[in-house]
Amino acid sequence: MPRTLLEPRFQIEYLSILDSEGNLDAALEPEIPADGLRRLYRAMVLGRRLDERMVRLQRQGRIGTFAPIKGQEAAQMGSVFALRPSDWMVPSFRETAAMLWRGWTIEKLLLFFAGRLEGAQPAPEQHDLPITIPVATQLPHAVGLAYAAQYRGDEVVVMAFCGDGATSEGDFHEALNFAGVWHVPAVFVVQNNQWAISVPLKKQTHSATLAQKALAYGFPGIQVDGNDLLAVYAASREGVERARRGEGPTLIECMTYRLGVHTTADDPTRYRSDEEVRAWERKDPLPRVRAYLEKKNLLEEGIEERVDEEIAAAVERFEAMAAADPLAIFDHVHADRSAALEAQRAELAERLRADAPRRPDEERPLPTPMRGQRKTSRWAN
């Protein structure tokens, strides 16, 4: 019996509309109102300037570990711009610009990266899930959310974000499988920034593209220039409209680059070259959009200064907030605390009391060390 070709139709498209040299494919240019273009550029500038400020805050010990987005602003803004407020966004941990666009305040983002509970709470009317630190675990939740919306008959779309490293995780494939099986109204935005911490893409997958992984699960995937705001928006709008029509999910691979560190705990000079970074700096999405707006006479002067003032005021409000209660970490583990959890809470409370500032005349006897005990605890003993 001769072999027969079963699926000759599978193809992956690449979309670019405004390239890094400023060349515009006018035939593909999406219709975006002038006010929309101005707001998009301002949001990208806010994302970039806040990103730089948060890195400095972390270096000064004023917030904890932070994952910068520098270089990925177009991938985020081009995608969420296609959503309605009633749609759902499911972020990973590198969607600062997208979250600001969706209504998260700067203070709330600062609270999250300062380890505060309040930073993970969306506003009651906000259709967003909070930041997810574990890689790809938010994707099955996004599919469940989309399935529930479909079941209820809600006319909403769920947009879920992840990085290229997430596509190596089981959760990614389980999510895509059931998204295809249930035909859910979902759009998966993969920000392919070339590196999963220090692991390059070529060591993560043997596939020519990440977009083609959607084909295995029965729905379309497309690769776009992730530093091209117009291309990302055009692909996202198409995916969102397709989902809203009941035609199922879409995967959008945004080819972009993380210009900064993976997180503030990372040193990328140990695993990638300066030459590679400089090559991607020439593709920076912000100058590209700025030049595009200049040609349309839509560029507003002084955006950077106004954005910096907004950030400075937010940082001031954040730092004026009362200190967090360390015992709050026990409040949301279980609905009812177990005996073991109560014991841990009591122990921490006792240690916090013991670690409180002492009066000069206050003396506290040191506990007797157990036989062979090493004094390595950071607690006073």
Tell me the catalytic residues: 258, 262, 271
88, 159 contact by CB (below 8 A): yes
Show the tokens assigned to 28: 């593909």
How many Cβ atoms are within 10 Å of 71's Cβ, its own excluded?
25
Task: Please report how many Cα atoms fall inside a 13 Å half-sphere around the Cα of residue 182, on the Cβ side.
Answer: 20
Q: Cα separation of 262 and 164, whole Å?
A: 12
What is the distance between the terminal CA atoms of the chain, rounded to a whole angstrom? 80
CA distance 30 to 230: 7
SS3 140: helix
Q: Dump the DSSP string for 218-238.
A: TS-EEEEETT-HHHHHHHHHH
SS3 269: helix
Reported in sequence order, the residue ranges of the chain that DSSP labels E, i.e. its strands, are 13-15, 88-90, 158-163, 186-192, 195-196, 199-200, 221-225, 250-255
Provide the 8-state DSSP code for 369.
Answer: P
- Identity at 86, one-letter amino acid code: S
What does 61-104 look like in DSSP terms, one character per residue?
TSS------TT-HHHHHHHHTT--TTSEEE--S--HHHHHHTT-
Tell me the C-alpha to C-alpha distance, in Å, between residue 339 and each of 120, 171, 346, 347.
27, 33, 10, 12
138 burial via Cβ count (<10 Å: 0-12, 13-18, 19+): buried
Tokens of 283: 């593709």
Q: Is the dihedral of CA 103, 109, 111, 116 positive or negative?
A: positive
**149 Cβ contact partners less than 8 Å away, ≥ 6 residues apart:** 88, 156, 158, 184, 185
